[in-house]
Amino acid sequence: MNKEGVKKICFVASSGGHLEEISRLKGIEKAYDCFLVTEKSDFEIKNFCDKRYIVPMMNRRQLNFLPKFIWLFYRTLRILLKERPDFIITTGALVAYPFCVVGKLLGIKVVYVESFARVNEPSLTGKLVYNMSDLFMVQWEDMLEKYPKSMLGGGIF
């Protein structure tokens, strides 16, 4: 919570479609104190969270993935300790995992929204954070079978 008593939200999304999806939550973003964490890329969303943290884009198949991923956990801890959000809301993908893990360890509520593109099969990030999420939302009714404790939120788009 910030000084004025307003809840603080950390929005986390990889670049591209995940970032596009989370930007559709403008109504939430306008009502709360927020900041956005995303990857460095050419894809940019305007008019969504003035405060931003940019982390390097990563690929699980790259040779230097492991050291970069470990560094991302360190960066995540620094960001979350500095900002002290009440909630983390994420649409995935890779950049979201450290924020969900570290956030839970710090007592921050985690809300995961499975990607709109996931109609029949769960994402890797979704599978990893399903049990640690305080609220897990799917956008397609068929995904309730894959994630029985999830909530159908309908499409963000």
pLDDT at 87: 98
pLDDT at 100: 98
Average pLDDT over residues 118-127: 91
This prediction has a pTM of 0.90
Contact 157, 24 (CB under 8 A): yes
- Return the CATH superfamily for domain 8-152: Glycogen Phosphorylase B; (3.40.50.2000)
Q: Which two tokens stand for residue 38?
A: 């995303």
Model confidence at 10, pLDDT cuts 50, 70, 90, reads: very high
Average pLDDT over residues 125-145: 95
pLDDT at 2 over 70: no
Q: What is the DSSP letter of 68?
A: H
- 3-class DSSP state for residue 89? strand
pLDDT at 40 over 90: no
